[in-house]
Amino acid sequence: MFVKAFGSSVHGIEAITIRIEVNVSMGQGYAVVGLPDSAVRESLHRTESAIKNMGYHMPRTKIIVNLAPADLRKTGSGLDLPIALGILGASEQLNHAQKLSEFVVNIFLRILHVNQQHINVLSVANSKTLVF
């Protein structure tokens, strides 16, 4: 199944919208294409760990992640969340918008809790300024 998600990456002083296209199909392997640096290519390990810790399973099929536009180099780990959501969507583990929003809020809370900013996150989540 094919799923499209969006993220962003910094290029110079501009934020560029990155389209993340994930395809899960028969076969084996994992590939990230579209000029990823080594941190983006290593996202498999981080996303697999996050997916398993959230109670989902990492599909053991062929996973292709395309990062567009292809002519810009993608750096860092900022695309991990949209890649993980794309994998879950393409493997049909996230079918409902409610389930997706709960997943994103949970990940968002966990990421900012690690940074010791959980008080700010709770106030943002309670004021419903998060858009899904």
Is 100 inside any structural domain?
no
Number of structural domains in the chain: 1
By the 10 Å C-beta count (0-12 exposed, 13-18 middle, 19+ buried), 131 is classed as exposed
Q: pLDDT band at 19, cuts 50/70/90?
A: very high
Q: Which domain holds residue 56?
A: 2-95
CB 6 within 8 A of CB 42: no
Task: Please state, in angstroms and rounded to a whole number, the distance separating the CA atoms of residues 49 and 73.
Answer: 25
Of 4-13, 19-28, 54-63, 115-124, which range is least confident?
A: 115-124
- Residue 113: per-residue pLDDT: 45
Is 113 inside any structural domain?
no
Is 110 inside any structural domain?
no
* pLDDT digits 0-9 by tens, 72-122: 999 888 888 889 888 988 998 876 655 666 666 666 555 544 444 434 433
Residue 75 phi/psi, 5-degree rounding, is -125, 160
- Tell me the average pLDDT of the chain: 78
CATH number of the domain bearing residue 81? 3.30.230.10
